[in-house]
Chain A
Amino acid sequence: MSTYDDASLIYYPSGYKASKAYSLKPTDGSGDLTFTRASTATRVNESGLIELVATGVPRIDFTSGCGKLLLEPQRSNILLQSEDISSASWIKNNSPVITSNIAVSPDGTTSADGIKSDTVAAFQTISQVVSVSANSTITTSVFVKKEISETFFGGFACIFSGGTTKILRVVVNAVIGTANVTTDSTLSAITKVEDYGNYWRVSATATDNGSNTFLSYIYYGTLSTNGTTTATGVGSVRTIWGFQLEASSAYPTSYIPTTTTAVTRVADSASKTAISSLIGQTQGTIFFDLNNVTGTVTGTGNPDIAFKNTAFNNWMGLTTNIFANPFRFTFRSATTLIDYSANITRAKVACSYGAFGVKLFVNGALVASSVTIPTTTFDILDLKGGIIKSELNSVMSFLLPKSDSDLIALTTL
């Protein structure tokens, strides 16, 4: 028998409409997921362009080439005019050379702007000041057009003030796609550069430790002449678009466009209730294939992406853990039988359970087991962007335990 034939439930990102994400199996609709998101949001479409998705419509995201169901928590972009640096919302410091709409942006429109420093006398920048909670963690991101060559380097800064001033400056190399924290920064940061076709998406996550309540976000025409230390210089044009500053966020999420106000995207959620016939009760196997699992807070163990029961005292699925271990899987049957964490963001996960106990396979290896025989009931599949962000490739359920060799094959990357 094939995996398809054996499975009682298969969800693979394909067909969808408002409020609905269709499962491949069963084919009678009894396993189709109900989707909710009470706001619009953006995704990368099949053409590689960022586009707006209507309220309540699932996002099949093609950032990495293949379509994945995007599940994200609620986040806000608190920078105004995210696509227009000529706007008065952006304070111009020392008269940087601003050119509007000089290149096709990641959404396919000609809306990317240019900033250039034309003097060595002073840093020439654009900036916005926002309010933040004391000692908050923030994540900022911006799309920077790839260059074949450039003169000196642009970059950005986050300056926390109101308490003990703290500074983070990040130099962006638009040729090779790197983001380096400058040596004079007083905060460390986790930086990330993602490939978006003709653009890099450069992000930085930092936590203030000076009890500051204001944050000045600054973008420099030239921030550095050598890529590591700060210096003024007459540089080439930096083509930029899609500024984002997410407060209380330890990782970047999908782009949230803004104009005259801050904008909040609400969390994604897909679920199906009353499907006990599609989930093994005292025995069975479940499978998740996930990309970009990202979590930050220490979870309670209550999973966001899981098979559960209505009483919510049985579950098997993913929650989050501390940042160093974003992947966490728990299996609970009266007591917790499996609680496994790992520092991975790409995960193929299979869990089999029955008279032998519980076995957990992750990325081709048995990583945890329990000989306690679970006494479980399951009737819900719940896929939420609650406290973790993830991109879902597929979910399956089988009414019988699969063999260890099958599960190794199924979960091998």
Chain B
Amino acid sequence: MKFLKFEFLNEAEWLTVKDSLYEDGALIPEITAIHEIGFICLATNEEGECIDLGTKYAVDMLCEEIEWLCPFVVWPKPCGIHIFAGWEEAYTAEYCEINPDSPYCVIPE
């Protein structure tokens, strides 16, 4: 099982994908948990109010790797704006495996 982050063009695209992740009202065995983040706030004002809302629809999942979902996987710097409790280290390790040159992963000499 992995902690993967997904980004969809819009909510409608996600809803189409979501339909295929359920069978008889239950998640398919490859999916353990889904958390819908939705549209991510990209900037806030001094009062903390969002002044720039992203247009992509973000979703986090605990799941097995599903090939047809791979095009939607994204790797924000650990751990983005949401985590499943206890999965920080696993996400960070995989992020650095995939992005070894990221400044986040390079250990200063």
Binding site for B on A (CB under 8 A): 38-41, 54-55, 74, 76, 91, 93, 127-129, 131, 133, 214, 216, 256, 261-267, 300
Contacts of A300 in B (CB 8 A): 25
Q: Which of B18-44 contact A (CB under 8 A)?
A: 25, 32-33, 35, 37-39, 41, 44
Cβ contact within 8 Å between A261 and B47: no
How distant is the Cα of A55 from the Cα of B50 in the complex, in angstroms?
A: 34
How distant is the Cα of A128 from the Cα of B47 in the complex, in angstroms?
A: 8
Contacts of B83 in A (CB 8 A): 261-264
One digit per residue, 1 when the CB lies within 8 angstroms of any chain A CB and 0 when it does not, for chain B 65-84 equals: 00000000000000111111
Cβ contact within 8 Å between A38 and B62: yes
Q: Residue on B with the closest CB to A267? A: B33
Cβ contact within 8 Å between A91 and B47: yes
How distant is the Cα of A160 from the Cα of B23 in the complex, in angstroms?
A: 35
How distant is the Cα of A128 from the Cα of B82 in the complex, in angstroms?
A: 16
Q: Which residue of A74, A91, A133, A262 is within 8 Å of B81 (Cβ)?
A: A262
How distant is the Cα of A267 from the Cα of B81 in the complex, in angstroms?
A: 21
Cβ contact within 8 Å between B50 and A264: no
Interface of B is mostly: strand
Would you give the shortest CB distance from B78 to chain A, in whole angstroms? Answer: 9
Tally of contacts, chain A with chain B, CB under 8 A: 72
Contacts A38-B32, A74-B33, A131-B39 given; indicate if A265 touches B48 (C-beta within 8 A): no
Contacts A38-B1, A38-B84, A131-B39 given; indicate if A261 touches B79 (C-beta within 8 A): yes
Would you give the shortest CB distance from B34 to chain A, in whole angstroms? Answer: 9
Q: Residue on A with the closest CB to B80? A: A261
Q: Which residue of B32, B33, B48 is within 8 Å of A128 (Cβ)?
A: B48
Q: Which residue of B50, B62, B79, B80 is within 8 Å of A129 (Cβ)?
A: B50
Cβ contact within 8 Å between A76 and B82: yes
Nearest 3 pairs of A and B residues by beta carbon: A40-B86, A39-B85, A129-B48
The interface centre, meaning the residue of B39, B80, B82 with most chain A CB atoms within 10 A of its CB, is B82
Would you give the shortest CB distance from A93 to chain B, in whole angstroms? Answer: 8
Would you give the shortest CB distance from A299 to chain B, in whole angstroms? Answer: 11
In this complex, how many residues of chain B approach chain A with their Cβ under 8 Å: the count is 27
Q: Which residue of A131, A264, A266 is within 8 Å of B41 (Cβ)?
A: A131
How distant is the Cα of A261 from the Cα of B5 in the complex, in angstroms?
A: 14
Q: Residue on B with the closest CB to A56? A: B86
Q: List 7 A-B contacts (CB under 8 A).
A: A38-B84, A39-B87, A41-B85, A131-B41, A262-B82, A264-B35, A265-B85
How distant is the Cα of A388 from the Cα of B44 in the complex, in angstroms?
A: 36
How distant is the Cα of A264 from the Cα of B1 in the complex, in angstroms?
A: 16
Cβ contact within 8 Å between A263 and B49: no
Q: Which residue of B35, B46, B50, B53 is within 8 Å of A76 (Cβ)?
A: B35
The interface centre, meaning the residue of A93, A133, A256, A264 with most chain B CB atoms within 10 A of its CB, is A264
Q: Residue on B with the closest CB to A256? A: B85
Contacts of A263 in B (CB 8 A): 82-85
Cβ contact within 8 Å between B85 and A264: yes
How distant is the Cα of A266 from the Cα of B85 in the complex, in angstroms?
A: 8
Contacts of B1 in A (CB 8 A): 38
Contacts of A93 in B (CB 8 A): 47
Cβ contact within 8 Å between A131 and B33: no
Q: Residue on A with the closest CB to B46? A: A91
The interface centre, meaning the residue of A38, A41, A129, A133 with most chain B CB atoms within 10 A of its CB, is A38
Contacts of A74 in B (CB 8 A): 33, 35
How distant is the Cα of A127 from the Cα of B45 in the complex, in angstroms?
A: 13
